Amino acid sequence: MSDGGIHPAKTFVDAAHDTLSNTQMRRNLRHVTSAIRDKRTRAVSEVDNWEDLREVASQTKQHVLENLETYLLQLEESVTRAGGQVHWATDAREAREIVAKIALKHGAKEVIKIKSITTDEIELNGFLQGRGVAAIETDLAELIVQLSHDRPSHILVPAIHKNRSEVRDLFNATLGAKLESDEPAQIAGAARTYLREKFFSVKMAVSGANFAIAETGTVCIVESEGNGRMCLTLPDVLVSIMGIEKVLPRWEDLAVFLEMLPRSSTAERMNPYNSMWTGVTENDGPKEFHLVLLDNGRTQVLRDEVGSQALKCIRCSACLNVCPVYERAGGHAYGSVYPGPIGAILTPQLLEMKDDKANTLPYASSLCGACYDACPVKINIPEVLIYLRGKVTKKKGTTLESLALKSMLWVMQEPHRFEGALKLGRLGQGPFTQNGKFTVLPGLLSGWTHSRDLPELPKQSFREWWKEQGQ
């Protein structure tokens, strides 16, 4: 089950402590992130004017955020005109109720789902189950995660922490498959057999949305396996849930994103399938189409001049694959359906900076800046990380740490105070050092020596040596 939403159960440090001891996951993640990184570099280098396109994508998204009301109203009008129904949901609870109501109206006992982080964000599957409706994930990786009651560890390849033999055993145990080989092709074949029956019998599908065009009312989903096309074409009823920031003004604006998203995420020139539909088409696809516009904290993020750039995200996962912290800690450490650098700025903001555990996420970064370089819509993630750290610190008010830093500032402002402090330090360090190293620092400073040693202060400082040389 991919439920869990955006509420971390632990602080990042505690959660990372657990995930770092999972050596298999670390090995898998290192493999996947380095493989996609190399491939992505090649896919991007094929496009001569990539930097120009980044600018276009970034400005388009910024324009949308500045004119969100206009475009949402226009989208509602065009979808309705094309025979669809539009619903507005201020939070996860409202969105879940809307979906459940539609399912119950049609007497649906099962719904088939296209991989969607937004539905994971609102914890839809567990809720529907409570209402007697089984939600069946049809993306291979999401199915693996669901059948093993696990959580996704990567936006793009959610089950990447599992290896092939685990998946084979899982399918044998849960789907009644009789797989001997753990060849990925055989495993995918077992999923095909199981899901094909569902595609032809289940009457309602639930999806997210990659893009929605205000001007035409067209919704777009990009995918690889064809499970998306099945869900979008075969059932009678389709419900798509989209975050309000996914709207685009004109049909033409879609071009830059279709050019950049596949190269940034799967590192392909284009992913196998893109589906675009406008309301309801007679004799072709669902007879009933619902579009749910989800807020769930987004309008709160929108209020913040600096932090709101997180809403430009198109969920490509390029920032995860280049992040040294993500590569080692893994997606589960972030405790949210939004992992990696983008998760570190999105999750705490969606929770209005009120969740103490989520507020540790902006610290899950070395601020190396690789995520900013990789981001196709130019979200300045390091800038937002530092900004959010400032907010978290400010909320904490005066702490021992802030007092200590203030006195450091006072000491360092004057050379004679600094030199005096060094002398005092040399006298005072005796009881704490061993073989020229601090191994355990007391009190507030113990965090520093928790996982590493600190060399002791030298007998003579550089400043003292310099003075001596001058004489």
Partner 1 sequence: MKEEMLRRIRAAKHPARTPLPTYPARPSRPQQETTERFVEHVEDYKARVQRIAGVSQLPMAIRRALGQKQKVVVPEDFPQEWLPENLDLIRDPGTLSHHQIKLQEVVITGCKLGISDTGTLVLDSGAHQGRRVISLIPDHHICIIFTDQIVQGVHDAVLQLESSVQAGQALTWISGPSATSDIELVRVEGVHGPRTLDVVLVG
Told to check if 14 binds partner 1 by CB under 8 A, we report no
Among 13, 236, 273, 389, binds partner 1 (CB under 8 A): 273
**Which region, judged by CB under 8 A, interacts with partner 1, from 6-14, 186-194, 368-376, 437-445?**
186-194
C-alpha 380/C-alpha 377 separation (Å) is 9
Q: Tell the smallest beta-carbon distance from residue 4 to partner 1 (Å).
A: 20
219 vs 116: CA distance, rounded Å = 14
- Out of 134, 173, 188, 408, point to the residue binding partner 1 (CB under 8 A): 188
Helix (H) or strand (E) run with residue 291 in it: strand 288-294
Identity of the residue, 128 or 214, whose beta carbon is nearer to partner 1 in the bound complex:
214
Among 21, 23, 180, 283, contact with partner 1 (rule: CB under 8 A): 283
- Binding of partner 1 at residue 269 (CB under 8 A)? yes
Ordered alpha helix ranges (H), 338-414: 340-350, 370-374, 381-396, 400-413
Which of residues 15 and 276 has its CB atom nearest to partner 1 in the complex?
Answer: 276
Which of 364, 373, 302, 305 has its CA nearest to residue 339?
364
Contact 418, 457 (CB under 8 A): no
Kindly state whether residue 116 participates in binding partner 1, applying the rule CB under 8 A: no
Helix boundaries (H) for 175-317:
184-201, 227-233, 254-265, 298-302
Q: Which region among 187-195, 318-326, 398-406, 450-458 touches partner 1 (by CB under 8 A)? A: 187-195
Task: State yes or no: residue 354 binds partner 1 (CB under 8 A).
Answer: no
Closer Cβ to partner 1, 120 or 295, answer by number? 295
Show the beta-strand stretches assigned E in 145-226: 204-207, 211-213, 218-223
- Using the rule CB under 8 A, is 353 a contact of partner 1? no
| Parallel, antiparallel or unpaired: strands 273-278 and 218-223 | antiparallel
Number of amino acids touching partner 1 (CB under 8 A) = 98
Q: Is 435 left (phi over 0), alpha (psi -120 to 50) or beta?
A: left
90 to 109: interface string for partner 1, x by CB under 8 A: x---x---------------
Instruction: Pick the stretch among 24-32, 173-181, 317-325, 432-440 that binds partner 1 (CB under 8 A).
Output: 24-32
- Interactions with partner 1, residue window 145-164 (CB under 8 A): 157-160, 162-164
Closest residue by Cα to residue 196 from 273, 138, 239? 138
Contact between 174 and partner 1 by CB under 8 A: the answer reads no
- Check residue 392 for interaction with partner 1 (CB under 8 A): no
**Residue 198, helix vs strand vs coil:** helix
Question: What six digits make up the tokens of 180?
Answer: 């001997």
Map the footprint of partner 1 across residues 118-147, applying CB under 8 A. 138-141, 144
CB atoms within 10 A of CB 176: 9
Phi, psi values for residue 274, rounded to 5°: -120, 130
Looking only at residues 192 through 251 of this chain, which bind partner 1 when binding is defined by CB under 8 A?
Answer: 192, 195-196, 199-200, 213, 216, 218, 224-227, 229-230, 232-234, 244, 249-251
Strands 437-438 and 454-455: antiparallel
Decide whether 242 or 293 has the Cβ nearer to partner 1.
Answer: 293
Residue among 56, 179, 421, 422 that touches partner 1 (CB under 8 A): 56
Q: Which residues pair with 136 in a beta bridge?
A: 112
Contact call for residue 457 and partner 1 (CB under 8 A): no
